[in-house]
Structure 1
Amino acid sequence: MTTIPLTVRGAELLREELHRLKTVERHAVIQAIAEARAQGDLSENAEYDAAKDKQGFIEGRILELESKLAAAQVIDPAAVDAGGRVVFGATVDLSDEDSGNEVTYQIVGDDEADLKTGRISISSPIARALIGKEAGDVAVVMAPGGERHYEIVEVRYE
């Protein structure tokens, strides 16, 4: 089985979602199925069909989360000492060499990625270009609009 890298925060978010699905969502959908079943004829009961579909989605997501957590390799960025190199969990300040714009990204697992909050997936092109580099290095990223050059300003493990 392949391990799935997760930060401590990412693993906690998956555990919270799993707990919510098992303790709240699962019980709510069972109640909805019971109420729809009480209405009688199930062959033309849209509420029953919708509740069964939702139950299937919830059960599938529970299995998916349990599998991911079982295969998770939880990495605490604060405990990482990579000697200033960019590694999984690192927070990297970058400067776009063309525009001069500065951005900050944390490299996280696929399930944690959220560009709006500055978290990019380890499998993204920019993260792959950054891995192994240090402050002062230039990362070349193949973007849809062409090649982009980012200078690494600072690497932090927080």
Structure 2
Amino acid sequence: MSEKEVLLTKEGLSRLEDELEHLKTVKRREVAARIKQALAFGDISENSEYDDAKNEQAFIESRIVKLEKMLRNARLISEDDIQSEVVGLGSKVKLKDLEYEDEFEYMIVSSAEADPGEAKISDESPVGEALIGKKPGDVIEVEVPAGIVRYQIISVNGRQ
């Protein structure tokens, strides 16, 4: 079975590579030092410092494996891949909330680099999925946890 291709922006690829490097060079050493220190306390059967450090080590190693797999299957989205007037992966989309008249901008990215705090939403999220293939002027209606929202697409990649 072939592994799923992970589409990434240049920025997303760089961020994942940086995270992997940090985990391998900094976090692994830190947690190894904590384990060594906890072992120095003696009996590990009731040693919460040891248990915490081992749990963190397992999380770090799991994340390293996940990042290595993502990067191994990564394909960079080039500017040519981004359709100018149709929403796709890598598109910057300006939306207007039709109920509250608010305007905001999202970048559509893969789930591997989604970060709502940075206005990067996954193409697999309800809003991201509804936007794919749409053009400026189109209206989407999406069911989200807070209810149904309606957005009008103002522009895609700066084009109205």
Same fold, TM-score > 0.5, yes or no: yes
- Structure 2 CA distance for aligned equivalents of residues 44 and 126 of structure 1: 47
Choose which of 3, 6, 9 in structure 2 pairs with 1:4.
Answer: 6
Q: Which residue of 2 aligns with 1:26?
A: 28
- Structure 2 CA distance for aligned equivalents of residues 98 and 144 of structure 1: 16
Q: Which residue of 1 aligns with 2:116?
A: 115
- Structure 1 CA distance for aligned equivalents of residues 66 and 15 of structure 2: 14
Shift of 1:115: 2.0
Q: Which residue of 1 aligns with 2:59?
A: 57
Shift of 1:122: 0.8
Structure 2 stretches lacking a partner, 5+ long: none
Structure 1 letter corresponding to 2:24 = K
- Cα 1:98–1:62 change in 2 (3 A) is same
CA-to-aligned-CA distance 1:53-97 (integer Å, 9 cap, x gap): 211111111111111111222213x34342411110100011122
Structure 2 letter corresponding to 1:118 = A
Shift of 1:27: 0.9
- Identical-pair percentage: 42
Matches within 5 A, 1:1-158: 1-76=3-78, 78-156=79-157
Structure 2 letter corresponding to 1:91 = K
Contact 2:84 2:156 in 1 (8 A): no
Normalised by the length of structure 1, the TM-score is 0.88
Contact 2:107 2:121 in 1 (8 A): yes
- Cα 1:145–1:17 change in 2 (3 A) is closer
- Cα 1:2–1:44 change in 2 (3 A) is same
- Structure 2 CA distance for aligned equivalents of residues 18 and 83 of structure 1: 32
Shift of 1:146: 4.0
Give the total of aligned pairs: 156
Normalised by the length of structure 2, the TM-score is 0.87
Structure 1 outlier segments of 4+, above 6 Å: none
- Structure 1 CA distance for aligned equivalents of residues 40 and 146 of structure 2: 57
Structure 1 stretches lacking a partner, 5+ long: none
SS in 2 for 1:127: helix
